[in-house]
Chains A and B, each alone.
Chain A
Amino acid sequence: MKRISQDCQSGLPDNCAVKQQQLPAYRLQLSANKILSGFFATGVFCLGVGVILLLSAKTIKEVEINYTEKCANCAKLRENAANFDKECNCSIPFFLPETMKGNVYMYYKLYGFYQNLYRYILSRSNSQLVGTDVKDVRNCAPFKTSHNGIPIAPCGAIANSMFNDTIILSYNLNSSIHIKVPMIRSGITWWTDKYVKFQNPSFQNLSSAFAGTTKPPNWPKPVYELDEEDPGNNGFINDDFIVWMRTAAFPTFKKLYRRLHRIEHFTEGLPAGSYSFNITYNFPVNRFRGEKAVVLSTLTWSGGSSLFLGLAYVVTGAVTWLAFFSMLAVHLRLKERKTFFLQQ
């Protein structure tokens, strides 16, 4: 008979909280007080953060000089592809009204350059860049090989279109003394890029490492001769190259070019005064109706000079407070009505 009683229980479902859907549940219907205080707190937080961000963005000094038009003659020269080996220099003087304190970074900025086109960003060979196989050019169409079939290193459209203007900043102490502002090339890339993602093929001699490859069509020099001053900055681990290879998210972008070496006059940063950019104009922007500029900027913890984030926080905080007040009004009115109802 025990068997029967067991049988009787066999169909009985488990009576536990999970199976009976009786789990204790936290219901997100908050009380008015909680919601109101929540909104208030959020408003305070947003306003606070917004103000801090705005203040910190205010401390940033930034100078941007667009030299597309200023070097019009060079631009014209570059429109004709036949003149590719002709050098064109252009000097742009400017006046810095205030000292730029702290670390100063020099960027080049491109307008209307779509570095984020789908096929463009595909056109690179990561395995080549990491140094494992210099001749791996599979993904690099249409810049895989030269006309005679020699693999290009670094291959691909990104590398081929590398920004190749040279920008030199000089400080004009007075009309006669022009001091070349000391700039550091290193440290402008992500550490991981420089030491992990981009590696030269392991050969003693760089040029032999790149033997059997050819330079990209647009490049005047092969990759192992990118930096004539610092032999350690050649090949795939060239900082400018690495920076360029990190494709920008938007068609208007700036890329870090140099940072101020804070020695001599420049220990405090860039002192106020007149400066000039000496630019070797190579990169043609007129072909895609683009523009280029050079940017000097300081940085804070909150990034660049954009006021947007701070403003957005302030606006959000304001909206939250607005919501808070309107909800408070609604709540008070409802409460009034409720008590009225109860008194009846």
Chain B
Amino acid sequence: MLPLVAVLTIIAIKDGLEDYRKYKLDKQINNLVTKVYSRKEKKYVDRCWKDVTVGDFIRLSCNEVIPADMVLLFSTDPDGICHIETSGLDGESNLKQRQVVRGYTEQDSEVDPEKFSSRIECESPNNDLNRFRGFLEHSNKERVGLSKENLLLRGCTIRNTEAVMGIVVYAGHETKAMLNNSGPRYKRSNLERRANTDVLCCVLLLVIMCLTGALGHGIWLSRYENIPFFNIPEPDGHVISPVLGGFYMFWTMIILLQVLIPISLYVSIEIVKLGQIYFIQSDVDFYNEKMDSTVQCRALNITEDLGQIQYLFSDKTGTLTENKMVFRRCSVAGFDYCHEENAKRLESYQEAASEDEDSPDTPSGSLSNMAKPRAASCRMVRNGPLGSVSSDHLTGSCFALGSGEGASEVPHSRQAAFSSPMETDVVPDTRLLDKFSQITPQLFTPLDETIPDPPLETLYIIDFFIALAICNTVVVSAPNQPRQKIGLSSLHGMPIKSLEEIKSLFQRLSVRRSSSPSLASGKEPSSGVPNAFVSRLSLFSRMKPASPVEEEMSQTSKSPQGSGNSACPIETEKQDGNVGVTNGKVESLPGQPLASSLCYEAESPDEAALVYAARAYQCTLQSRTPEQVMVDFAALGPLTFQLLHILPFDSVRKRMSVVVRHPISNQVVVYTKGADSVIMELLSAASPDGPGLEKQQTMLREKTQQHLDAYTKRGLRTLCVAKRVMSDTEYAEWLRNHFLAETSIDNREELLLESAMRLENKLTLLGATGIEDRLQEGVPESIEALHKAGIKIWMLTGDKQETAVNIAYACKLLEPDDKLFILNTESKNACEMLMDTILKELQKKNPASPEQASSEALHQPPAAPDSGLRAGLIINGRTLEFALQESLQRQFLELAARCHAVVCCRATPLQKSEVVKLVRSHLRVMTLAIGDGANDVSMIQVADVGIGISGQEGMQAVMASDFAISQFKHLSKLLLVHGHWCYTRLSNMILYFFYKNVAYVNLLFWYQFFCGFSGTSMTDYWVLIFFNLLFTSAPPVIYGVLEKDVSAETLMRLPELYRNGQKSEAYLPLTFWITLLDAFYQSLVCFFVPYYTYQGSDIDIFTFGNPLNTAALFIILLHLVIESKSLTWIHMLVIVGSILSYFFFALVFGAMCVTCNPPSNPYWIMQEHMLDPVFYLVCVLTTCVALLPRFIYRVLQGSLFPSPILRAKHFDRLPAEERTEALKKWKEAGKMDQLTSKYSDHSAVKSERIPISDPSAVFAVMSATSCAVEQGNLSVCETALDSDYSENKASGMAGPSKD
């Protein structure tokens, strides 16, 4: 009873602590403060998140997190737009736009909650993040529809919008974010579940033993006709019948033998896990200097599950990638500029960045515009010829000043929300810069004159960078603008007005200063960071309230902000024109620092990367309004492009275009940027500039294609940039048609698409770019290792398919020669059919390599032959929805199980968790989910092991996780080393515990045969208790914590060893029974050797028990020594300590206890025995005989049939050099096996691969079956499926038509 209470108490305390931690966190979130309108006080008051209710009006400022789902009623943005970052929900870190409800857009002033009298009706709370339906009914019964465009979701962050106001529609647990959160699951480790069943086996065994005892006692009793006088009658004098005696004996035996059920096992498991966690947490390899964090074990009871993972579900953004788009290389006019310096910079970035942060002398290092000294200096040199010599130095000093006042923290933290210095700083390529230096304004200024055309390449370069800078939807802002706005608003109470005032004021000033990038700087000086303009600004703000003139000047503020902004550049441009080119050059000096402090916020990070790249070549995007784009082009000075049209990006066209009027040539130019496959098709066959150029274009096209292929191979995201020059008439005609399309009501989408097609053709290729979505450090290596370890990796991401596949290749999740199957269907039937086809395809392949199938078939029924044919499956969110339906689940799982890697794109958080749940429950495998954002929370909770990456995207994932690491690469050590260790240790310890208990308790059981099954124990009661509690408890715990079967180094080098844990090899049911058998044998030896020795002698009960106990102690401890693969001084200490404590206890107890503890009375027994040689002889013999079989087995196993683990263990004993040699040999041997099989497969695949003659035909087939087998940049991996499609065309077409 006592041990049970102790166990329960310890577990309760541990769980209580865990719950308390969660409670504190909940409280922290509940008590976050937001501004809620209070009707009583008629103003916005601070209120806790938990007090926000439906119907509340909430006002949020920039960078605040939205506390509840609310309908947007007001935004300070003049267009009624609010930018939000949804990374907390879906992991996409780009900005999304939300629209103020129609009808409220026009209001300039904030909606007054007092006057709000409309009624909002919306659908009941659900978990669909992409749908919101409802309407807002004004008091005059007029209804305005509400869509997801009007909804701000809880957990998102307001970005780039000064302030917004909304009314809460869903609060608390009804918010979509919370509904997507499936709630925590009580996790119980797999091993413990196995152990529990075996404990039940032990209970069964106990019952059997007790029944034997009861039966035996009954028979024993019935043997006597009259009652022997040593059998004591009941207190009342009569003697019980044998049946009743047997019945009583059953319960007596249960009490006697209950030690068989290892209750202490649970305590030991908990202690061992704590120890394991302690060691995991103190592993130096998990330490991340940058974040000053190491691994965090949040769940305390599933360490050993780390060693059994079979499926790994990973988030992409922030987990595999850093979510930092970095410009890597570009190809302009057929020349590849590989940006080696930039690449070097990126490589050295990690260390340098951390150095910067550490070094106290350069606090400016944390600012985006200050690259580390190395980069800055090299850029400085290169900038030399361009005139803006010391721009970086200027900035540097500026901000160094500011940071002196401790303000540097703020811009830095804000910076992190957008782009890190790694993305923003691009070191230009030297060759390209050389070519840039040829650009002079003279090339253009006398454009009408008949000076020979500038070299075509230079023109291309100019156009290329202009396209990079303007062909996008980037929003320009100063890094600390919103902060400033808040500060001002507190000053004046009317934030917008006053800001406009400043702007207009600054226009005047800028006229005086004739500074072109004044708009940007106008925001800059008002920042919290003091710089050169600060004094001037403070002057203005002091001036402002007093000057009525400013009110007049601020007339522009009444018009939309765009026009207000544009007023300035136009003006300044004129001046530039007047002053001349030299002025422009000079201006770039003070202008530059400001330009580089600009922030670009793009809908997709690629765009921002391109704009930053353009900026590095002095082609700086200065401002952007709906009508105009202003670019500061180094040699040409600021250029203002009149924005005629934007054809935004969509996934069908896979490109976007801007139509602008070129300020120099005054022509209408279309700049298009898009996926290479699409752009290449749209290039003009005949160049308008003559046949000579046509030839050049063809060459350029070929070259660029080569470059593109090279980029793709290196895992870069490629984009092509092209342009088209239109005549005014052409444009006018197109515009007319386009207008028609825009205004048409029927099939507007199609018409628009057509219209876009009309515009985007006859393009001239300018070049291509390669952008890297930077993987986190060590990700490909980790994934490779995990693959080798037999873990199947699924990537679940909310991102686009192209991006996801790209990353999958980059991080080696997919290999170039993998077969790729893409599930992308619009209907359930099509999905089913496609899966069928793929399955058949795969099944056809598998019998080809039966030897692998058989070797791998042990996993689970639909095992994938992962050493043979490698197949990858890509599935998108919509199709996933079909696949997750019950009717298709089985098929999907079978398919997925046959694939070596699976990528799910466009998956919602709930889908992620459903996928994990499906795999976990149906395939009965151990799953691990890893992610960093709030969108991964449900997945993390559902998986057997949830791992959070403490990254940039908040802490939700970490809070929900069982383990938190700082980088993905740590996962490999966590699983391969610690997982393996924890699993082997714990399973061996559990087995040992069963062994120990059975071996010891059986001694008591055997004795029953000699005492009439009367329940006598030949051991003293206290020794019986202490034997399990003291003498033999510490060694297994130490064993469970410190055992190291194979060294960490070897485990990392041979990920294959991980399979041992996946197959639960250390703890199979068979192992359990063998262990029990061994325990029975040992107990038999341990009992009967002393028995026969002392048989017929005058030994008494407890004197007989003493050698039994002593021998059992030695057997049990030495058994542990045989089983443990490594013994440190701690082991030795504990084992020797256990033995000594036993003897000490026995001797002291024997000396002190004269009358205590009836009936045993161990008085002087040990002392007596210590002087008896027979005692020693018995103990030695017993121990030897009991352990001999196991020892011989272990010895033979080591030399005759060593398991991989044993072989690896053997390596550890070799000296370092020999070990590497041996490892190499092993790996080669492994490869040989794989290669032979792979070759056969390769030939099979190759013969199957049918060259695709006409891609468009395939495309047609695909659209017919409404499933797209993507080619795109995956040209390497066209699958044999394509051919299947052409064969199955008829049936494919028939499929969808059925429904």
Contacts and interface: CB of A to CB of B under 8 A. Distances in A.
Contacts of A114: 228, 230-231, 1011-1012, 1014
Contacts of A13: 281-284, 286-287, 294
Interface string B227-253: 011111111010000000000000010
Nearest to A107: B1098
A253 interface: yes
A3 B301 CA distance: 36
A130 B1199 contact: no
B1093 A306 contact: yes
Contacts of B1121: 28
A249 to B, nearest CB: 4
Contacts of A261: none
B287 A27 contact: no
A10 B1213 CA distance: 35
A23 B1192 CA distance: 28
B1095 A308 contact: yes
B1128 A25 contact: yes
B1067 to A, nearest CB: 21
B1164 interface: yes
B1209 interface: yes
B1101 A116 contact: yes
Interface in A194-217: 196-197
A27 B1125 contact: yes
Nearest to B977: A21
A7 B292 contact: yes
Given A117-B230, A303-B1174, A32 B1127 contact: no
Interface residues on B, range: 35 or more
A77 B353 CA distance: 106
Interface string A18-46: 11110111111110100100000010001
A53 to B, nearest CB: 7
A246 B1100 contact: yes
Interface in A263-297: 287-290
Interface stretch (B175-183, B445-453, B679-687, B1152-1160): B1152-1160
A67 interface: no
Contact of B1100 (A27, A42, A249): A249
Contacts of A11: 287, 292-294
A145 interface: no
A331 to B, nearest CB: 7
Nearest to A23: B1128
Contacts of A42: 1184
Contacts of A10: 292
Nearest to B1124: A28
A306 B1098 CA distance: 12
B761 interface: no
Contacts of B286: 13
Given A19-B282, A130-B1154, A308-B1095, A248 B294 contact: no
A152 B1082 CA distance: 45
B739 interface: no
A312 interface: yes
Interface residues on A, range: 35 or more
Nearest to A327: B1195
B1213 A29 contact: yes
A316 interface: yes
A288 to B, nearest CB: 3
A80 to B, nearest CB: 12
A255 B230 contact: no
A107 B1097 CA distance: 10
Contacts of B1192: 323, 327
Nearest to A295: B1096
A138 to B, nearest CB: 10
A59 interface: no
Contact of B1200 (A116, A309, A330): A330
A196 B1096 contact: no
Contacts of B1125: 27-29
A27 B1047 CA distance: 11
Contacts of B691: none
Contacts of A5: 358
A192 interface: yes
Given A29-B1198, A126-B1155, A197-B1154, A306 B1127 contact: no
Contact of B1199 (A127, A132, A323, A330): A330
A254 interface: yes
Contacts of B1172: 303
Contact of B1018 (A23, A109, A249): A249
B515 to A, nearest CB: 37
A46 B1173 contact: no
A249 B1090 CA distance: 11
Contacts of A130: 1154-1155
A26 to B, nearest CB: 5
A51 to B, nearest CB: 13
A271 to B, nearest CB: 25
Contact of A1 (B360, B1015, B1173, B1210): B360
Interface in A203-249: 218, 246-249
A124 B1159 CA distance: 8
Contacts of B1188: 316, 319-320, 323
Nearest to A246: B1100
Interface string A306-344: 101100110010011001000100110010000000000
Nearest to A304: B1097
Interface in B998-1022: 1010-1012, 1014-1016, 1018
A309 B1174 contact: yes
A98 interface: no
B1099 to A, nearest CB: 5
A27 B1010 contact: no
B1015 A287 contact: no
Contact of B229 (A7, A35, A287, A316): A287
A114 B287 CA distance: 67
Interface in B831-860: none
Given A20-B283, A130-B1154, A197-B1154, A121 B1212 contact: no
B294 A12 contact: yes
Contacts of B1016: 116-118, 121
Interface in A72-123: 107, 109, 113-123
Contact of B232 (A120, A132, A304): A120
Contacts of B224: 288-289
A11 B284 CA distance: 10
A8 B580 CA distance: 53
Contact of A14 (B282, B1093, B1158): B282
A334 B1199 CA distance: 8
B271 interface: no
A183 interface: no
B1129 interface: yes
B360 A142 contact: no
Contacts of B1154: 126, 130, 196-197
A256 to B, nearest CB: 6
Nearest to A12: B287
A249 B1012 contact: no
B282 A113 contact: no
A23 B1010 contact: no
A247 B728 CA distance: 120
B874 to A, nearest CB: 39
Contact of B1042 (A21, A192, A306): A21
Contacts of A251: 1010-1012
A323 B1168 CA distance: 36
Q: Which 4 A-B pairs have the closest CB atoms?
A: A1-B360, A288-B228, A25-B1126, A249-B1104
Interface of A: 1, 4-5, 7-15, 18-21, 23-30, 32, 35, 42, 46, 49, 53, 107, 109, 113-124, 126-127, 129-130, 132, 139, 141-142, 157, 160-161, 190, 192, 196-197, 218, 246-256, 287-290, 301-304, 306, 308-309, 312-313, 316, 319-320, 323, 327, 330-331, 334
8 contacts: A28-B1121, A29-B1209, A49-B1177, A157-B230, A192-B1163, A197-B1154, A253-B1099, A319-B1188
